[in-house]
């Protein structure tokens, strides 16, 4: 089986899904980059024949047949479309999928099925609390239970957290079992998968998102920190400049009435003389101030 998604888009000016092209083949696991909350689900719906694109086309084995595409390709864990409610127990999810596959779907059958794949102890646990790799394993195994299913599209498994290596290797395992697998992921998960030895060479969809690249380091904060002290220094220097308050100007007028002060006592207030001399450098004024201070002491 070979599915070709050729230059499809959705929404006005491709807002819901920009022009995208990719291929899915039996026995291969591919991943494609699609980000934002809406686009991964839209791409998954179109790639499995469940939504018609506004432009472009999707073919299966060279022909356009949406009904055949829906029958042979499952849509797994697509947000708001095929993902289970997070509060539903794992056994309940299994029972529902067993029913869709035409198999016995009682709670007992669901528990037995979980036991067969090694997760019986998780039967009563809400699926929203299941490890991402276990969730992918269970959902994918349930999807291929239907007789006509030959592949599936797994939508945004990275939204559940966990390490991409876990669920990507599960997808690769299904490809080894003869299924066609497409995994729609975000940029961070794509960057990790690219580095895995088993990752196949993948052509990213044209104009779907920006190319995958390492996240740039966030720099520039050092520059801001270095610039902060510069404006602070002048403010600290300006405070001493306000020293005119320490040498009050009212002293000279008070000194005017004292006309015959004796200069003999000048050495007794040398420090006062120095301070006044700084504010009034004229010698005559200095003598007058000194006499005033001596007169005040008396």
The answer to whether residue 267 is domain-embedded is yes
CA separation, residue 39 to residues 43, 56, 86, 151, 212 (Å): 6, 16, 21, 21, 16
One domain for residues 59 and 154: yes
| Interval 103-119: pLDDT, tens | 999 999 999 999 999 99
pLDDT for the residue 198: 59
In the listed set 173, 194, 215, which residue is the last one of a domain according to the structure?
Answer: 194
Place of tokens 């899904």: 17
Q: Are residues 81 and 171 in the same domain?
A: yes
Last residue of a domain, one of 151, 178, 194: 194
Q: What's the rounded Cα separation, in Å, for the pair 7 and 73?
A: 20
The single residue listed with the structure tokens 């073919």 is: 59
Q: Burial of 93 by CB count in 10 Å (0-12 exposed, 13-18 middle, 19+ buried)?
A: buried
Q: Are the C-beta atoms of residues 138 and 130 closer than 8 Å to each other?
A: yes
29-33/55-60 β-pairing: unpaired
Domain assignment of residue 212, yes or no: no
How many residues are there in the chain? 298
Three-class DSSP category at 101? coil
Give tens-digit pLDDT for 169-188. Answer: 999 999 999 999 999 999 88
The total number of structural domains that make up the chain = 2
| Same domain as 77, residue 7 | yes
| 67 plus 178 within the same structural domain | yes
Residue 73, in any domain of the structure = yes
So what's the pLDDT on residue 199?
Answer: 56
Helices and strands (DSSP H and E) totals, the chain: 12, 7
The answer to whether residue 214 sits within a structural domain is no
Same structural domain for residues 18 and 153?
Answer: yes
Tell me which residues of the chain have a pLDDT lower than 70.
Answer: 198-298
Residues 187 and 230 in one domain: no
User: Both 243 and 171 in a single domain?
Assistant: no
Is there a single domain that holds both residue 148 and residue 238? no
Q: What is the CATH number of the domain that holds 53?
A: 3.40.50.300
In a domain, 252, yes or no: yes
In a domain, 56, yes or no: yes
Query: Are 151 and 75 in a shared domain?
Result: yes
Domain with 56 in it: 2-88+126-194
φ/ψ of 141, rounded to 5, equals -65, -40
3-state DSSP assignment of residue 146: coil
Element (H, E) at 29: strand 29-33
Asked if residue 78 is part of any domain, the answer here is: yes
pLDDT digits (tens, 9 = 90+) for 29-57: 999 999 888 999 999 999 999 999 999 99
Claim to verify: residue 44 and residue 170 sit in the same structural domain: yes
Dist CA 161 CA 158 (whole Å): 5
> Which token pair is 69?
């595409």
Instruction: State whether 167 and 31 are in the same domain.
Output: yes
Regarding whether 159 and 61 lie in a shared domain, the answer is yes
Residue 168 lies in a domain: yes
Q: d(Cα 164, Cα 198) in Å, to the nearest integer?
A: 13
Cα–Cα distance for residue pair 173/169, rounded to 1 Å: 6
* pTM to 2 decimal places: 0.66
Last residue of a domain, one of 176, 194, 212: 194
* Residue 247, φ and ψ in degrees, nearest 5: -115, 80
| Other Cβ atoms within 10 Å of 164 Cβ, number | 23
């Amino acid at each position: 089986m070979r599915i070709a998604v050729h230059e499809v888009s959705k929404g006005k000016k491709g807002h819901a899904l920009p022009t995208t092209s990719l291929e899915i083949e039996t026995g291969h696991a591919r991943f494609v980059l699609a980000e934002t909350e809406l686009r991964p689900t839209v791409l998954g719906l179109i790639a499995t024949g469940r939504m018609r694109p506004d432009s472009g086309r999707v073919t299966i084995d060279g022909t356009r047949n949406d009904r055949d595409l829906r029958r042979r390709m499952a849509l797994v864990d697509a947000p708001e479309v095929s993902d289970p409610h997070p509060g539903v127990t794992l056994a309940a999810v299994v029972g529902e999928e067993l029913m869709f596959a035409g198999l016995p779907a009682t709670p007992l059958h669901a528990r037995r099925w979980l036991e067969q794949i090694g997760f019986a102890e998780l039967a009563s646990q809400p699926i929203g609390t299941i490890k991402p790799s276990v969730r992918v394993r269970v959902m994918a195994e349930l999807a291929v239970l239907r007789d006509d299913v030959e592949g599936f599209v797994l939508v945004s498994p990275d939204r559940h957290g966990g390490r991409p290596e876990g669920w990507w290797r599960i997808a690769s395992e299904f490809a080894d079992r003869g299924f066609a697998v497409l995994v729609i992921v975000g940029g961070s998960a794509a960057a990790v998968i690219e580095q895995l030895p088993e990752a196949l060479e993948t052509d990213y969809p044209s104009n779907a998102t920006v190319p995958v690249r390492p996240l740039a380091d966030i720099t520039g904060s050092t520059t801001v920190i270095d610039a902060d002290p510069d404006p602070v220094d002048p403010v600290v220097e300006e405070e001493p400049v306000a020293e005119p308050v320490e040498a009050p100007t009212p002293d000279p007028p008070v000194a005017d009435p004292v006309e015959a002060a004796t200069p003999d006592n000048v050495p007794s207030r040398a420090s006062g003389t120095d301070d006044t001399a700084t504010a009034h450098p004229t010698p005559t004024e200095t003598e007058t101030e000194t006499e005033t201070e001596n007169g005040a002491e008396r």
